[in-house]
Each structure stands twice: as structure tokens, then as C-alpha cells.
Amino acid sequence: MNRHRLLVVDDNHDCADAVCELLRMTSDWDVDVAYGPHAALSQALAHPPDAVFLDMEMPGMNGFQTADALLDAPSVTLPHLVAMTGNSHLQAEASDDLRFDASLLKPAGHAEMLELLEAFAALKTE
């Protein structure tokens, strides 16, 4: 059985690393990290993810622009996108945005993240 692949994208290394380590220990997903939007695009092309946890406030390209770039990449299958932000206004905006399957307010709860991964995995196996 192929494992599902998650890409965590955040320019804050500590935040990205904490999410990755937690989910590596507690989920059955392969978890990769990208420390910014350009690294995310490269990583997604090299190893297409099934889901992306995407920080919304990054220098160079914000989360909405990064989502567009990921969804437009020709060799990337459409991943489930989850917006992650500490800004409640951006979280509300992302909640209404059809590009995103979900949005989480940082710091995101462990149970919330696991529930999303379980739901995405179930959709992939149907």
C-alpha cells in the first residue's frame, strides 16, 4: 500500500519542523517540509503531495498565490490544500476560498490536523 504524502509549507522553520515532527510520529503519512513558497513548488514537482498544509503569510508569495501555483503546476496532481495562519481574518478568508479544503488557525490542534489527514486518506481510497 502506498503511503500518503503531506507537504508542510511555512517560512517559520520552527513552526514547520514542529508540525512535521508531530505528524511523523503520530500519523501514517510521509511528511515533507518546504520553508517557503518556491521550495514548496520545487518539492511538489519532485514528490507530488496528496495534501499540503500551507502557511498563508510568507514573503515573496502569500498562501493564495502559492495555492494557485501548486494547482496550476502541470505535473502535480491536485492535492488537498489546508490553509494555516495565525491571522483570524485570513483564516476566515481561506475558509470561504474554494481552493482550500480546510483552514486552520495557528497554533493548529493536533487532533484537528489528524482528522483532516484521516479524511483525506479516506477520500483517496474510495
The pLDDT of residue 74 is 80
- Specify the pTM: 0.94
**Residues ≥6 apart with Cβ < 8 Å to 104:** 53, 82, 83, 84, 85, 91, 112, 113, 116
User: Measured between alpha carbons, how far is 63 from 100 in angstroms, rounded to an integer?
Assistant: 10
Q: What is the pLDDT along the chain (126 residues), one digit of tens a residue?
A: 578 999 999 999 999 999 999 999 999 999 999 999 999 999 999 999 999 999 999 999 999 999 999 999 887 777 899 999 999 999 999 999 999 999 999 999 999 999 999 999 998 765
pLDDT of residue 79: 87
pLDDT reported for residue 124: 73
Report residue 49 as a C-alpha cell.
503531495
